[in-house]
């Protein structure tokens, strides 16, 4: 299990507290310091069952600078979103937990963290599409 965090984020700290309380084994990735590649983002999005624009933090200053609000949200524009997220990782929702080979969760709530913990390893039937974060 890996969790992508920003240590300054209260939701990330909360997720880590829950993982620690549950004695979960995990690795931490400070994704602002170690940005994911486009390929890693594609894989996480596949696991989430979401598109890039579903996990973009549109309120970030860099989102306004890039004019993301006006970008097309379609297959043709997908690579543009992925490249922006890889170049500007502050755009990525947090925390994201990759729980096993086939699942990931945008763990912004305690319930989402616990859901990630409750998935048996290798059980793809436990993976459910996630409602895009608000």
* Residues known to be catalytic: 9
- CB of 38 within 8 A of CB of 95? no
Closest CA to 94 of 121, 57, 122, 43: 57
d(CA 27, CA 93): 18
Cα four-point dihedral sign 36, 55, 62, 85: positive
- CB of 24 within 8 A of CB of 117? yes
d(CA 69, CA 65): 10
Which tokens in the block code for residue 17? 């507290």
Residue with tokens 């096993």: 100
């Amino acid at each position: 299990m890996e969790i992508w965090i920003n240590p300054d984020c209260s939701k990330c700290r909360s997720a880590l507290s829950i993982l620690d309380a549950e004695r979960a084994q995990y690795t931490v990735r400070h994704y602002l310091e170690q940005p994911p590649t486009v390929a890693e983002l594609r894989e996480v999005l596949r696991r989430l069952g979401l598109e890039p624009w579903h996990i973009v933090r549109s309120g970030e200053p860099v989102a306004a600078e890039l004019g993301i609000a006006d970008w097309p949200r379609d297959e043709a524009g997908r690579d543009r979103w992925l490249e922006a997220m890889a170049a500007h990782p502050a755009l990525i929702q947090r925390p994201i937990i990759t729980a096993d080979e086939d699942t990931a969760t945008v763990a912004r709530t305690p319930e989402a963290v616990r859901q990630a913990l409750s998935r048996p390893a290798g059980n793809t039937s436990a993976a459910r599409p996630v409602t895009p974060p608000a």
